[in-house]
Structure 1
Amino acid sequence: MATAGGAATVHKAGHASPAAEEEVRRAEERRFAALVNEDIDTFDELCDDRFIYTHSTGHRDSKSSFSAACRSGLIRYHRIEATAEQIVLAGDCAVVTGSMEAELSVSGAPRTVRNLSTSVWVREAGAWKLLASQLTAAQA
């Protein structure tokens, strides 16, 4: 089961509201659940068309290349546990920092990853869209 949550320290700039923080937190939860459930249509809906995903290996994917890898089974998420440790709201932008542990398969080979994460969300036309996500391998 995908989870996202945990304690968050929120710093607000401009006119951000607690409701905006909760919307971003729910969007993060939906993103991880969509990946575990192989619901790539929902994942695509949550992402901005300009989405860039920087993996902990340094490889970068666009929205279309990452979604294609998930649809083809090249990347399969079996479990994701994510914690949003801080959500920084600045107008229509939210930066979420935290940690993520996942069990996945890449080209059929099982992997377990433990990462620090940074995600950038933007609100356009009233909806939060994931613009960028970057993972950094956590030190053991």
Structure 2
Amino acid sequence: MATAAATVHEAGRAGPAAEDAAEEEVRRAEQRRFAALVDGDFDTFDDLCNDRFIYTHSTGHRDTKSSFSAACRKGLIRYHRIDATAEQIALAGDCAVVTGSMEAELSVSGALRTVRNVSTSVWVREAGAWKLLASQLTAVQA
């Protein structure tokens, strides 16, 4: 599988040592999320998401966990490569907000696209596991 095609880079990481472990857990969850999308492993992707997950695409279209997963499973959305940078992870209790950037090559309804976005993702810790609650992309103009 193409897990090497989905990467999350670290940029400007700083913070108290007590937060390092939680930040690393969130960073690994982000990596697993993107790898699952590139690999077509939608069971893993679904497992990483909170049941109330909302995905706001750079076009403004919103998907729920079930509608996004269904579109991916049907091949309407197919990720070929994702290169993401987590520029900041802000922790507040059992909530983590990841801001960064993402470039991806994907097919949408069969049309190949390359997208460049800034991103915000919200993760919540539930029963010791980080779950993705929301993700929003904003297109970067060339």
TM over 0.5: yes
SS at match of 2:44: helix
- Runs of 4+ in structure 1 deviating by more than 6 angstroms, as ranges, are none
Paired letter, 2:64: S
Deviation readout 1:5-36 (Å, 9 max, x if unpaired): 22134457xxx621000000000000000000
* 1:8 corresponds to which of 4, 7, 12: 12
Superposed, which structure 2 residues align to 1:44-55 within 5 Å? Answer: 44-55=46-57
Q: Where does residue 28 of structure 1 map in the other structure?
A: 30
TM-score after normalising by structure 1:
0.95
* 1:113 corresponds to which of 107, 112, 115: 115
Matched, 1:100 2:106: no
Q: What is the RMSD computed on CA atoms of the aligned residues?
A: 1.4
Structure 2 gap ranges (5+) = none
Q: Where does residue 139 of structure 1 map in the other structure?
A: 141
Matched, 1:37 2:43: no
Are 1:10 and 1:87, in contact at CA under 8 Å, matched by a contact in 2? no
Are 1:87 and 1:97, in contact at CA under 8 Å, matched by a contact in 2? yes
Matched, 1:82 2:84: yes
Q: Where does residue 123 of structure 1 map in the other structure?
A: 125
Kindly state the Cα deviation for residue 94 of structure 1 after the two structures are TM-superposed: 0.2
Matched, 1:59 2:61: yes
Kindly state the Cα deviation for residue 39 of structure 1 after the two structures are TM-superposed: 0.2
Are 1:11 and 1:88, in contact at CA under 8 Å, matched by a contact in 2? no
Aligned CA distance change for structure 1 residues 50 and 11 (closer, same or farther; 3 Å): farther
TM-score after normalising by structure 2:
0.93
- Number of matched pairs: 138
Structure 1 gap ranges (5+) = none
Task: Give the Cα–Cα distance (whole angstroms) in 2 for the partners of residues 34 and 10 of structure 1.
Answer: 27
